[in-house]
């Protein structure tokens, strides 16, 4: 025996929360564009001309994963990538017209989805929820990156 109740393990709960979120995202936001793809588009919207590495920093993805996600967005013609003339190592990212349109559309839907996702909680609980997750994640991140 000696089995454990996984519903007390935050890691297990985090995985289930993400599954639940993905399900809802597909149903209410988009079946084509995933949530990480949207996050990248959002970062480029906030700071057009960002390079891949910095985008990764903004949305919490490593270089390899950003490259994959960026590749998919380019294939869908939502994103453009040009060499930085100032620094030949970098690629500068920018949304296409269609990319900007798509981002705007998904932003509206994502807001609605977030409301549905958090609906089971009261108003103060919702703020608390976001705050608690953020504190735990940030603490763990600085734990790895010894400032």
Q: Which residues bind DNA (CB under 7 A)?
A: 15, 19, 22-23, 34, 36-37, 51-53, 60-65, 67-70, 72, 86-91
Q: In the bound complex, what is the minimum distance in angstroms from residue 71's beta carbon to DNA? A: 7
Nearest to 7 by CA among 125, 17, 133: 17
Residue 137, C-beta contacts closer than 8 angstroms, at least 6 positions apart: none
Residue 78 binding a second copy, by CB under 8 A: no
Count of residues of this chain found to bind a second copy when the rule CB under 8 A is applied:
61
Which partner in a second copy, DNA, none is near 70 (CB below 5 to 8 A by kind)?
DNA
Residue 126, C-beta contacts closer than 8 angstroms, at least 6 positions apart: 118
Residue 49 binding a second copy, by CB under 8 A: no
* Contact (Cβ atoms closer than 8 angstroms) between residue 81 and residue 92: yes
Q: In the bound complex, what is the minimum distance in angstroms from residue 82's beta carbon to a second copy? A: 20
Residue 68 binding a second copy, by CB under 8 A: no
Residue 121 binding a second copy, by CB under 8 A: yes
What separation in angstroms does the CA of 81 have from each of 39, 50, 63, 96, 142? 17, 10, 15, 10, 31
Residue 134 binding a second copy, by CB under 8 A: yes
* Contact (Cβ atoms closer than 8 angstroms) between residue 38 and residue 103: yes
* Contact (Cβ atoms closer than 8 angstroms) between residue 68 and residue 36: no
Structure tokens at 143: 């734990």
Residue 11 binding a second copy, by CB under 8 A: yes
Contacts with a second copy, residue ranges (CB under 8 A): 1-4, 6-25, 27, 35-36, 39, 42-43, 45-46, 59-60, 103-104, 107, 110, 114, 116-121, 125, 128-130, 132-141, 143-144
């Amino acid at each position: 025996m000696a089995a454990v109740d996984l519903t007390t393990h935050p890691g297990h709960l985090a995985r289930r929360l993400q599954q639940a979120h993905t399900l809802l995202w597909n149903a209410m936001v988009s079946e084509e564009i995933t949530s990480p793809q949207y996050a990248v588009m959002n970062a480029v919207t906030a700071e057009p001309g960002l390079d891949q590495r910095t985008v990764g920093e903004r949305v919490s993805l490593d270089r390899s994963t950003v490259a994959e996600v960026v590749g998919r967005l380019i294939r869908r013609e939502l994103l453009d990538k040009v060499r930085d003339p100032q620094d030949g190592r970098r690629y500068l990212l920018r949304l296409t017209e269609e990319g900007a349109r798509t981002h705007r559309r998904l932003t509206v839907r994502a807001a609605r989805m977030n409301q549905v996702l958090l609906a089971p909680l009261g108003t103060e609980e919702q703020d608390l929820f976001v705050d608690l997750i953020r504190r735990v994640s940030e603490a763990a991140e600085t734990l790895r990156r010894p400032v």
